[in-house]
Structure 1
Amino acid sequence: MEDTVNAFVDVFTIEGGSGPLSGLTFGAKDLYDVEGHVTGCGNPDWARTHPAATAHCPVVATLLAAGATLMGKTHTDELAYSLMGANAHYGTPTNSADPRRMPGGSSSGSVAAVAAGLVDIGLGSDTGGSVRLPASFCGVWGLRTTHGAVPLEGAMPMAPSFDTVGWFTRDLATMARTTAAMGLAGEGPLPPRLLLPVDLWAQAMPATVDAVAPTLAALEAAVGPAVPVVVAEEGIDTWFDAFRIAQAAEVWETHGAWVSAVKPNFGPGIADRFAMASAIGSDERAAALAMREKVRARAAALLADGAVVVLPTSPGPAPFRDADEPTLNAFRNRALRMLCLAGHAGLPQLSVPAGVVEGGPVGLSLVGPRHGEGSLLSLAATL
């Protein structure tokens, strides 16, 4: 395989067995252990200070056992702490849907490999949006699974109470096959109703709303008109602040000792986020976690009957590759306001390719109750 889009940090082949994914290929984000290879996590200092893995992590082993062939390890933003896809050490993978634009991260290499047709499945991870946002940016399917539904042993933790496994495909059929092979439901009952969170839609550009409207209309034709709701009764800024603080405090708890000891060379944005994380106090973290519990209770109440929330995945198409750091951070923060519902509540979210704005793809997302992956896939199949 020729890596034409800088998707891979290491290209090699490990043949899969015989199973439901036979004939398919995948790339694994470079925070998943692959036996005999160093898990570099997007940073040379991390790679330098960690030994090669002695075994495949469970999710890689599961895909191999299901018959898929591993084609290599894909780039990630440094320690997965970004959403844009730029890496100061290894470069930015190409967004094949619109090469002028960022591919999204932190699962940047996996989405780039799928969008370019180099592999059928891109194994990623999603803590704050690292599968959902790249899927929207590159015009592919992306699934964030229910928190805790797929094991994360043998993967670099970021913020474990938020971390989830996810993957990209170019079509729904492959998405459903992969989901079933991972031990989750590949189909399920259609939801009884759709919910349209007006406060989250308000974060999207008007052009994005227009672009995804036909896909929303098609879903409504299958299930019925979406019911407008306000999901963040405390205000979406309050939800965003709680997510940012709770995640960052956990990131520092996970990696602070290594960062303090090694003093790694981080790229722009990454260093700032780790500095912010190091300064979060216990009272601030406790308040954020208390708000997270309120968000979880609100989500459970809204989705108790199996309802599905539908919203644009992203405020708009991906930022341009030459955007400066303040522009990228502003977009990232706006996107997190839309993404933090599933992050806080540990919910599955499927990003569906749904339109184009100024030459760049945008996605429409389906957010379901915990362990509702099958329902999301069946709803998407009505399209």
Structure 2
Amino acid sequence: MATRTSRRAAKDEGDPVGAFMPGPRVTIAGAASGPLAGLTFGLKDLFDVAGHVSTFGNPDWARTHPPASITAPCVTMLVEAGASMVGKTKTVELAAGLTGENLWYGTPTNPVCPDRYPGGSSCGSAAGLAAGLFDFALGSDTAGSVRIPASYCGVFGIRPSWGAVNPCGVLPLGPSFDTVGWFARDAGVLRRVGEVLLPPGGEGALGPLLKVEEAWMNAAPAVANALTPALERLEARFGRAAQVEVAVEGLHTFFDAFRACNNEENLSALGPWVYGVKPKLSPTVQGRFDTAPHQPPAKTAWGRHVRAVAGARIRALLGGGGVLVFPTSPVPAPLLSSSTEEIMAVREQTIGVTSISGFSGAPEVTLPVARVDGAPVGLSLLAAPGRDRALLAFAQAAAETLGIGEPA
């Protein structure tokens, strides 16, 4: 059985988990006043900051791209609201991975369970937040890159509705799936950041809870058992959850369809650079770009069809204000000693569930509600597209009910 090795991140006194990018910190002071005054944040190293090169997790990308001329608008909005950026955080190479590994800059340590991966691709943002290095952090989420590291590291995270947060100045991977998301250690801060970044509207009551049957069955029994008491407490407050099925095609079909769609978009977004520059890539990422051009057009068309049909079904189910509830990840963070085969199995099992949001364009919040063998596992709440503000309010009420997170 093949085993995996990854270089652990170098650490210093100000960064005990290796969350920040090596070298001098890129910082931006926040405005003196505003709704986020006094808060600090970390920034995934695929967001533009004027005068600096985003590495995108790869030295050859950094070498072949100039410094940004402007700062990403979403970053500017946070700074103008009073938050100070205290450093750029590591990302998986080209944002393509769910474990948090980076062959070139080192893999951040999961501060909650150091023998396990931190999750990716927003690995540095999640690990640094869990370690208390900043108050919140920005990441991006294509196939789970905010939700999964949030679950693995035991923090709150949100993938907002697709297009809800301005993606300009954010390096792309799969543009029709890419979203700007964020992490916090409590639901109050998660919501305050949303009040700055999200467009107006979408408030109002949500309910009922809708238990996604196949996602609970897909989870490891220990994870489902650990999360069930939290679901029962939420039912006591918000009413009994109705059981629903959203992936009538099967979660494995969701994974295959996502992969087909994402292969096409990865080639469009990054293929010209990969094939033109011929950069040094990790074996996993290189493998993606070796195989993606050979995907049959019929497979791509099939993936788009599955996505369209499933997305319409999920949006219709949520139209009355329902909130899907399900395990964020089917398993806790994999052990660092996991084999390549074990990691691939986790990836397939995970992306089938994260595609529920990806296909529907709906917002999803993950709550850090339980642990399995000492490792955090998250519970997800998902509402209709455009109901982001309502979902954040619902998530804050849920966190209060469950007694989780730091005081806002």
The question of a shared fold, defined as TM-score above 0.5 by the shorter chain, is answered with yes
Runs of 5+ consecutive residues of structure 2 not aligned to the other structure: 1-12, 402-408
Q: Which runs of 4+ in 1 moved over 4 A?
A: 184-187
Contact 1:176 1:186 (8 Å CA) reproduced:
no
| Cα distance in 1, alignment partners of residues 290 and 137 from structure 2 | 31
Partner of 2:14: 2
CA shift, 1:217, in A, is 1.2
CA shift, 1:298, in A, is 0.5
| Cα distance in 1, alignment partners of residues 106 and 30 from structure 2 | 30
| Cα distance in 2, alignment partners of residues 210 and 74 from structure 1 | 33
Partner of 1:379: 394
Equivalent in 312, 317, 325 of residue 310 of structure 1? 325
* Aligned-CA RMSD value: 1.4
Q: Is 1:14 matched with 2:28? A: yes
Q: Given the two structures, how large is their TM-score scaled by the length of structure 1?
A: 0.97
| Cα distance in 2, alignment partners of residues 183 and 303 from structure 1 | 20
Residues 73-117 of structure 1: per-residue CA shift (max 9 Å, x gap): 110001101011001111110111111110000000111110000
Partner of 1:345: 360
Moved more, 272-281 or 27-36: 272-281
CA shift, 1:267, in A, is 1.2
Contact 1:185 1:373 (8 Å CA) reproduced:
no
Partner of 2:305: 290
TM alignment of 1:1-383, pairs within 5 A:
2-9=14-21, 10=23, 11-17=25-31, 18-184=33-199, 188-382=203-397, 383=401
Residues 236-284 of structure 1: per-residue CA shift (max 9 Å, x gap): 2222111111011111111111111111111132122222322223222
Moved more, 133-142 or 92-101: 92-101
| Cα distance in 1, alignment partners of residues 83 and 278 from structure 2 | 38
| Cα distance in 1, alignment partners of residues 108 and 280 from structure 2 | 20
Residues 289-346 of structure 1: per-residue CA shift (max 9 Å, x gap): 1111101110111101010100000011100122222211111111111111001111
User: Could you say what secondary structure the match of 1:168 adopts?
Assistant: strand
| Cα distance in 2, alignment partners of residues 307 and 257 from structure 1 | 42
Matched residue type, 1:12: V
Q: Given the two structures, how large is their TM-score scaled by the length of structure 2?
A: 0.91
Identity across the alignment (%): 46
Matched residue type, 2:255: F
| Cα distance in 2, alignment partners of residues 360 and 186 from structure 1 | 36
Runs of 5+ consecutive residues of structure 1 not aligned to the other structure: none
Matched residue type, 2:396: A
Contact 1:187 1:377 (8 Å CA) reproduced:
no
* Distance 1:186-1:25 versus aligned 2 partners, 3 A rule: farther
How many residues align structurally? Answer: 383
CA shift, 1:184, in A, is 4.4
